[in-house]
Structure 1
Amino acid sequence: MKSLATIFFTMAEAARVHQAENGERYELIFGSIKDERDLSRQVALIEGMVAAGDAIVIAPADSKALVPVLRRAVRQGVVVVNISNRFDAEVLAAGGVTIPFVGPDSRTGSFRLRSCLPLIPTRLAASHWRRSAAPG
């Protein structure tokens, strides 16, 4: 997991519940980093999990820097699934590796949200977002 903060707590708990109900089918190993700047710790976790398991589900702290260590994992037969922060497609292609992504398309979502913003009443929008410039 990228971090055991915020929504990652919910995902971790759901995974624990599923594993408890299916304990005979697989072992669940968790690892997390303190925050998104702790890249070296996430690399160390990945290396340890490659030695210990058959699959890794990862929310990468860095969409580019973790590709080399995960490419090695894939080449060793470990199934890697990417969640939350999609790996950089160009870096994956340059590394000759495919890692499936499971999660929302935040880019498309942000464009759709942008098209809806003019429909939000000014007072409501002002109560939730700071405006960086005067209207007009």
Structure 2
Amino acid sequence: MAIQRRLLLIISFFAVAVSACNDASKQSSSAISASADAQKLPASNKTKKIALVLKTLTNPYFIEMETGARDAAKNLGVDLVVKMASQETAVEQQIQLVDELIQTKIDALVIAPSDSQRLVPILKKAQLAGILVINIDNQLDAATMKSQKMSPVTFISVDNQTSSYQSAKFIADQIKAPGKAAIIEGIRTSENARMRTVGAERAFAENHNLKLVAKETGNWKIDEAY
């Protein structure tokens, strides 16, 4: 079910991107809920060129995302370009990838930003070039967008705080005697990592047998987390 939901989200954001390419001024700052209706697109004589920029393909999550994106692009008649950094902490590399894509005159850019703040300036540059920007997975920082005078963007993702809370609560509910808990976080400047930490903290706090003794970042890397 998780993979199916993820693929449906992919189809949803491509549908939003293709539709909005016909009127880039109608951007929305609201989160988009995935639905089958999102696959219905208005007729267009031009094949839209959309770039998907991921954090990396060393994470199974993003491998599934690329697969879903390619399936959606085929179904929707989209010219898809996929780019990714070498690792999730390679923020400058992701910025460079976006800059290079701007020069190719794409119609829309769908991005899972490695950093919620540092990607804002280059994404504003994309907007100024007339490129529709769709934000997925990790939400851009609203305060940074405002300070950079970046136009609102559509954001598509899941409720990271709730999903983390439910996962951590399942674990916490198994603890019936006094014990200690630790949280291995993602990249701390990423909004999705922050919300997942908040959700886990809330779940652990509800069990009076548990004491949270440490929080360390694994930067989304399996080896570093280990």
Superposition TM-score tier, normalisation by shorter sequence: 0.7 to 0.9
2:47 aligns to what? Answer: none
Residue type of the partner of 1:131? Answer: A
Matched, 1:131 2:181: yes
1:122 aligns to what? Answer: 175
Which blocks of at least 5 consecutive residues in structure 1 are unaligned? none
Alpha-carbon shift at residue 106 of structure 1 (Å): 1.7
Hey, what's the Cα distance between the residues in 2 that align with 1:115 and 1:121? Answer: 9
Matched, 1:94 2:144: no
Alpha-carbon shift at residue 94 of structure 1 (Å): 1.1
Cα deviation, 1:93-130, whole Å, max 9, x if unaligned, reads 11122122100232354456667766x1227xx8xxx7
Hey, what's the Cα distance between the residues in 2 that align with 1:122 and 1:85? Answer: 31
Cα deviation, 1:47-78, whole Å, max 9, x if unaligned, reads 12112211111000111001000001011110
Equivalent residue of 1:131, what SS? strand
Hey, what's the Cα distance between the residues in 1 that align with 2:175 and 2:156? Answer: 35
2:129 aligns to what? Answer: 76
Residue type of the partner of 1:45? Answer: L
2:159 aligns to what? Answer: 105
RMSD: 2.6
Which blocks of at least 5 consecutive residues in structure 2 are unaligned? 1-53, 183-208, 212-226
1:67 aligns to what? Answer: 120
2:78 aligns to what? Answer: 26
Alpha-carbon shift at residue 19 of structure 1 (Å): 2.2
How many corresponding residue pairs? 127
Hey, what's the Cα distance between the residues in 1 that align with 2:68 and 2:163? Answer: 25
Identical aligned residues as a percent: 27
1:40 aligns to what? Answer: 92
Hey, what's the Cα distance between the residues in 2 that align with 1:42 and 1:68? Answer: 12
Residue type of the partner of 2:88? Answer: E
Alpha-carbon shift at residue 41 of structure 1 (Å): 1.2
2:66 aligns to what? Answer: 12
Hey, what's the Cα distance between the residues in 2 that align with 1:135 and 1:14? Answer: 39
TM-score using structure 2 length: 0.50
Hey, what's the Cα distance between the residues in 2 that align with 1:122 and 1:112? Answer: 15
8 A contact 2:55–2:87 mirrored in 1: yes
Hey, what's the Cα distance between the residues in 1 that align with 2:93 and 2:61? Answer: 20
TM-score using structure 1 length: 0.79
Q: Give the direction of change, closer, same or farther, for the CA distance of 1:18–1:94 in structure 2 (3 Å limit).
A: same
